Structure 1
C-alpha cells in the first residue's frame, strides 16, 4: 500500500472517509433501529456504510502507523495510535448488528405473519445497533480528538514564516 498519494500522506486522505462514514453509520443505525419505515428505505445503505467503515478502518490504521514511523516519538501520537487500533473492535460489531437487524427485518417482511422470534430478534438487533452505534461514535470521536491534538496542539508557538 502506498504511503503517499501525490505527495500527501495516505493517512490524511483515508481518515476523512472514516471520520464521515462512522458517524453516518451511527446515525443511520439509530434511525433504522427505531423507525421501521426508515429501515425499509435506508437499512441496506446503513449496512453498506458500516461495511465501508470496516474496510477503511484497517487501511487508516495501517497508513497511520506508516506515517508515525516517519515522525519523532510523541506521546500524543502514541495515544492516537492506541485508540485508532481499537476502532475496528467498535465498527466490526456495529456492522454485524446492523446486518443482523436488516436480515431479520427482511425475513420478517417476506414471511407475512411474523413469528414471535422475529419480533424478539428485531428488538435485540435494534438495541445492539443503538448501543454499538453510540459506542462507535464516542470512540471515533476519541480517536479523532487525540489525532487532532497530536497534530495541532502547540501550533500557535510555531515561528511565523
Structure 2
C-alpha cells in the first residue's frame, strides 16, 4: 500500500475526485447550455474533466490496496465493501461523462464551422451538438450523484471508526 508521509494514498486521491468531478460537471453543463462559452472555456473544461476522470481509477486502485491492507490486519466491514462497490460504479459513469464532454467540444467546434460556412440546409453538427449537450447534462448529474454516494459512504465508514 502506497503512503505519503504515513497517510494512505487513497484518501488523498479521493479528494481529487470529489473536487474535480463535480467542478467538471458544473463546467460541462455550463458549456453545454451556453454554446458561445464553448470556444472560450473548452480547454479549461476539458482539462478539469480529464483530470477528474483520471483520478477515479487512481483512487479506485489505491482504495483496493487500502482495503487489502485492512483485511490483512483483520478488518472486514460491510461499510467498506459497500463503499468499494459504489466506487466501482463511479468509474464507468465518469468515463462516459469524459467521452461525452470530448464529443460535445468536438461537435460544438464542427457546429461553429457549419454555422460560419452559412450552409442553411446543413444543420447536422448543430443537431449533434444539441443531442450531445443533453447527454452531457445527464451524465454530469449521474457523475455528481455517484461521486457523492461513494464519497459519503467512504467518509461514513471512516468517521464511524470502521476504517481505522
Same fold (TM over 0.5): yes
Match of 1:30 in 2: 29
- Number of residue equivalences: 154
Identify the match of residue 78 of structure 1 among 76, 81, 86.
81
Indicate which of 138, 144, 159 corresponds to 1:137.
144
**Cα distance in structure 1, aligned partners of 2:52 and 2:10:** 15
| Aligned twin of 1:89 | 92
1:127 maps to: 134
- Report the 3-state secondary structure (helix = DSSP H, G, I; strand = E; otherwise coil) of the residue aligned with 2:105: helix
In the superposition, relative to structure 1, how do residues 154 and 14 fare at CA in structure 2: closer, same or farther (>3 Å)?
closer
Match in the other structure for 2:153: 146
Gaps of 5+ in 2: none
Question: Which consecutive segments of 4 or more residues in structure 1 shift more than 4 A?
Answer: none
Q: Distance in 1 between matches of 2:148 and 2:53?
A: 16
Structure 1 position 38, deviation (Å) = 2.0
Q: What does the per-residue CA deviation read over 1:32-74, in whole Å, with 9 as the maximum and x for residues that have no partner?
A: 1101222221123212222112221111001011111122001
Alpha-carbon distance between aligned partners in 1 of 2:101 and 2:43, rounded to the nearest angstrom: 9
SS in 1 for 2:101: helix
RMSD: 1.5
Q: Is the 8 A contact 1:50 1:91 kept in 2?
A: no
Where 1:145 maps in the other structure, the secondary structure is: helix
Unaligned runs of 5+ in 1: 156-161
Shift of 1:128: 0.4
> Secondary structure in 1 aligned to 2:76?
coil
Deviation at 1:19, TM superposition (A): 0.7
Give the 5 Å matches for 1:42-81: 42-71=41-70, 72-81=75-84
The 8 Å contact of residues 90 and 135 in structure 1, kept in 2 or not, is answered as yes
Distance in 2 between residues matched to 1:78 and 1:16, nearest whole Å: 19
